[in-house]
């Protein structure tokens, strides 16, 4: 099961305990479903790739409206394919559609389409969360890309067709510190990439279990990234050490071959280091200091090696 499906299952099968929240949830789900027809008879359609979820939607509407005629789940057989996955469709028409839309505050008691998120929903913290949960269940997706701990590793997206609903929804989230973005070329799609925002959103819509799973995943990924960073760092250090040793050896060989009197013509402190390095090409600078019995500090060692390299350089031409 994908993380998005896990969140939807948790909400539909576990959350939504209060009646007020179930109606707010339904309101969000219908708004997020994207197709609402009022002109030629009232109706709406909710699409989903999980049969279990679409049946649960049908059940909630049936319970809510106490009607079953006009609520139809179209199975995978006749459903269209969406990116290779079967799509299940819930079609609600006639009396249950009108009833559900009125209960959800999308239609006024007089049967007129209302604007934005109903005030009752906006003003109640539990219901605003439930509305957002409904939107996510109907139109949301959440992807986890392998391996990355923070930016780029997570992607949350919701599609909200109606401008007023989208603005109301963004405002509700903003009041809870959750900022979703949208691109100019696709203003209907709201998205978030950062782990913090996505985790906050998942908690806000009431998927507590999924929230903890996300937290665990984040910690695991962070630990892996840190280990990787350490290992890259070690590799870098090794490469630099080999590089330095090679430079030293080139200089020492030049001195040995081209300087009058060879290595023995060097001052004693340099001679000891040069000889030790020549005999131990793969040793670290710390090991060279130990092997040469010089009790040099790191900077003392570096200083002498630089002098050897300078002498070597001067013998090049």
Is the separation of the CB atoms in 289 and 276 below 8 Å? no
Q: How far is the CB of 117 from Zn ion (least distance, A)?
A: 13
- For residue 91, the cross-strand partners are 45, 72
**Number of residues near Zn ion (by CB under 5 A):** 5
Ranges within 62-101 binding Zn ion (CB under 5 A): none
Tell which one of 5, 6, 20, 291 touches Zn ion (CB under 5 A).
20
What is the rounded CA–CA span in Å between residue 108 and residue 176? Answer: 28
Closer of 21 and 48 to Zn ion (Cβ) = 21
Determine if residue 219 is left, alpha or beta; phi over 0 gives left, psi from -120 to 50 gives alpha, anything else beta.
Answer: alpha
Task: Give the interface segment with Zn ion, choosing from 14-22, 98-106, 278-286, 297-305 (CB under 5 A).
Answer: 14-22
Closer of 9 and 132 to Zn ion (Cβ) = 132
Q: Residue 126, interface with Zn ion (CB under 5 A)?
A: yes
Tell which one of 3, 7, 11, 21 touches Zn ion (CB under 5 A).
21
DSSP 143-191: EE-TT--STTSEEEEEE---HHHHHHHHHHHHHTT---EEETTEEEEEE
Q: How far is the CB of 102 from Zn ion (least distance, A)?
A: 17
Task: Give the interface segment with Zn ion, choosing from 119-127, 152-160, 238-246, 297-305 (CB under 5 A).
Answer: 119-127
Q: Which of 213, 21, 38, 45 is nearest to 134 (CA)?
A: 21
Q: How far is the CB of 215 from Zn ion (least distance, A)?
A: 25
b/e sequence 190-203, b meaning 16+ C-beta within 10 Å: bbbeebebbbbbbb
Is the separation of the CB atoms in 194 and 151 below 8 Å? yes
Two tokens, residue 158: 């919701």
DSSP 40-81: TS-EEEEEES-HHHHHHHHHHHHHHHT--TTEEEE-TTTSPE
Task: Give the interface segment with Zn ion, choosing from 6-14, 124-132, 143-151, 235-243 (CB under 5 A).
Answer: 124-132
Closer of 9 and 27 to Zn ion (Cβ) = 27
Task: Give the interface segment with Zn ion, choosing from 5-13, 20-28, 189-197, 237-245 (CB under 5 A).
Answer: 20-28
Q: How far is the CB of 11 from Zn ion (least distance, A)?
A: 13
Tell which one of 3, 67, 127, 251 touches Zn ion (CB under 5 A).
127
Residues that bind Zn ion (CB under 5 A): 18, 20-21, 126-127
């Amino acid at each position: 099961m994908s993380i998005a499906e896990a969140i939807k299952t948790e909400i539909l099968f576990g959350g939504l305990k209060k009646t007020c929240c179930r109606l707010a949830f339904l309101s969000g789900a219908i708004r997020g479903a994207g197709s609402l027809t009022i002109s030629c008879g009232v109706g709406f359609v909710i699409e989903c790739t999980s049969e279990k979820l679409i049946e649960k939607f049908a059940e909630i509407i049936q319970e809510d409206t106490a009607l079953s005629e006009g609520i139809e789940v179209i199975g995978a057989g006749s459903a269209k394919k969406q990116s290779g996955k079967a799509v299940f469709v819930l079609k609600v028409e006639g009396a249950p559609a009108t009833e559900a839309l009125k209960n959800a505050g999308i239609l006024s008691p007089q049967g007129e389409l209302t604007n934005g998120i109903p005030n009752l929903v906006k003003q109640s913290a539990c219901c605003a969360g439930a509305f957002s949960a409904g939107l996510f269940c109907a139109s949301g997706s959440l992807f986890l890309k392998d391996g990355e701990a923070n930016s780029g590793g997570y992607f949350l997206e919701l599609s909200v067709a109606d401008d007023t609903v989208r603005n109301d929804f963004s405002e509700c989230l903003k009041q809870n510190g959750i900022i979703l973005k949208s691109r100019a070329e696709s203003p209907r799609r709201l998205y978030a990439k950062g782990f913090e925002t996505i985790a906050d959103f998942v908690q806000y819509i009431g998927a507590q279990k999924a929230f903890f799973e996300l937290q665990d995943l984040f910690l695991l990924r962070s630990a892996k990234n840190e280990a990787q960073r350490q290992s890259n760092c070690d590799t870098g250090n090794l490469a630099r050490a080999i590089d330095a040793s090679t430079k030293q050896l080139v200089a020492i060989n030049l001195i040995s071959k081209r300087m009058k009197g060879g290595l023995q013509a060097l001052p004693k402190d340099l001679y000891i280091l040069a000889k030790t390095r020549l005999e131990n090409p793969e040793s670290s600078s710390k090991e060279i200091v130990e092997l040469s019995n010089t009790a040099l500090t790191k900077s003392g060692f570096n200083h002498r090696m630089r002098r050897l390299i300078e002498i070597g350089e001067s013998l090049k031409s």
